[in-house]
Chains A and B, each alone.
Chain A
Amino acid sequence: MSSIRIKAKERAGVVDVKALMKHPMETGLRKDKDGNKIPPHFIQEVVAESNGAVVFSGSFNTSISKDPYLSFQYGGKKGDKLTLSWTDNQGQKDAETVDVG
């Protein structure tokens, strides 16, 4: 199951995107019960592309909460393919594509 859930709805030429990315977003500053530091593990880059063109990109860091919730708007139309992807500091990636409704 993908770590990303997206809803993209077009209204009057504007696509409203809401997305939730499941990610621990560990800062690297926390310690576990035994006092060992929990290694940092957070999303660094988020990119949204519509039909191959970048409509949103962001550099995330440790100040973003666990399971980041993202909302943005861009000019577009119904039926477009919207792809949201993230890359974290450990090199893991995930991407999800939806049709704009």
Chain B
Amino acid sequence: MFRSPKSGALTVAFLCFASPALVAGPLGIGETATPEMIAGWDIDIRPDGRGLPPGEGSVADGEGLYEAKCASCHGLFGEGAGRWPILAGGEGTLDTAHPEKTVGSYWPYASTLWDYIHRAMPYPAPQSLTDDEVYAITAYVLYLNDIVEDDFVLNQETFQEVKMPNEPNFYIDDRPDVVNTRCMSQCADASTFEIVTTINGVTPTAHFKEDSGVAANHYGNEAATAEATKVALSDAAVAGKSIYAKACNVCHGAGVAGAPVTGDAAAWSERIAQGMATLNKHAIEGYVGKNGVMPAKGGNMALADEEVANAVAFMVESSQ
């Protein structure tokens, strides 16, 4: 329900044909969910407090409730009885050998606490607490973590004041391949898109197979490369060796994405037959062949054309 609008119409399919409110959908089954039915499922609380029901509870109210309903497992002070979850403490341990993840040391949002207590606690009788009781116990657990003072009263308004200590350490994943900015206006026509390349075999697996002839090494076929370097190399190839190690070995060392492995004469003979000019062109501009994909300059656009050509020379001379 997290992504569905609060007022969204939901069709609940029942296999019971005697259901009173059958609707004539495409299949003629199911019934339209009433607002009451949706409310029964829609109990999630968002980090900004959306979804919190009216009501309130104080730390003092929570103390008695906590001791009666929670402390037998979580401990009087949230220290955790036996191996039950620890709720408090553990500040500053997240980057140590034994991180202790508690409400205070780890959780980014107090809404999770309210939601979880309301949804799943107490363990033997989930959803048996009233909203006020959930507010009170949530306030008390926050107090056990020194997040609120002992006179704190939690409700829809004061929820906004609660700042969890570890929230700043959560951030949107900023790696380049997870950023997907959605086009909202004047976007390209999707029907004109054409798939120009697909990448297969990015995960090297060949070296896990027996008798595959590939060294069991994630970092490339070093044995083969080492052997290949015994061949007398031209000046260009010698110059290209370091370029190869930086830009090409990732794929051409292990045969990733269909790349011909350096030193594999059989794989290279057909390619060498096309001539150096063709190989250089493919390496510099990129190439999609029947076996796989050669990204332009191995994906390293900072390289000069000559450097790429030198690396190609190294691979060709090492693979004859």
Binding site for B on A (CB under 8 A): 1, 5, 7, 18, 20, 22, 67, 69
Contacts and interface: CB of A to CB of B under 8 A. Distances in A.
In which size bucket is the chain B interface?
under 10
B146 A20 contact: no
B79 interface: yes
A5 B77 CA distance: 8
Contact of A20 (B67, B77, B149): B77
Contacts of A7: 67, 76
Interface string B74-116: 0111010000000001000000000000000000000000000
A67 B76 contact: no
Contacts of A69: 75, 77, 79
A20 B146 CA distance: 13
A22 B89 contact: yes
B71 to A, nearest CB: 9
Contacts of A1: 146, 149
17 contacts: A1-B146, A1-B149, A5-B77, A5-B144, A7-B67, A7-B76, A18-B76, A18-B77, A20-B76, A20-B77, A20-B79, A22-B89, A67-B79, A67-B89, A69-B75, A69-B77, A69-B79
Nearest to B77: A20
Nearest to A5: B77
Contacts of B67: 7
A18 B79 CA distance: 12
B217 to A, nearest CB: 31
Nearest to B150: A1
Contacts of A67: 79, 89
Interface in B31-70: 67
A1 B79 CA distance: 18
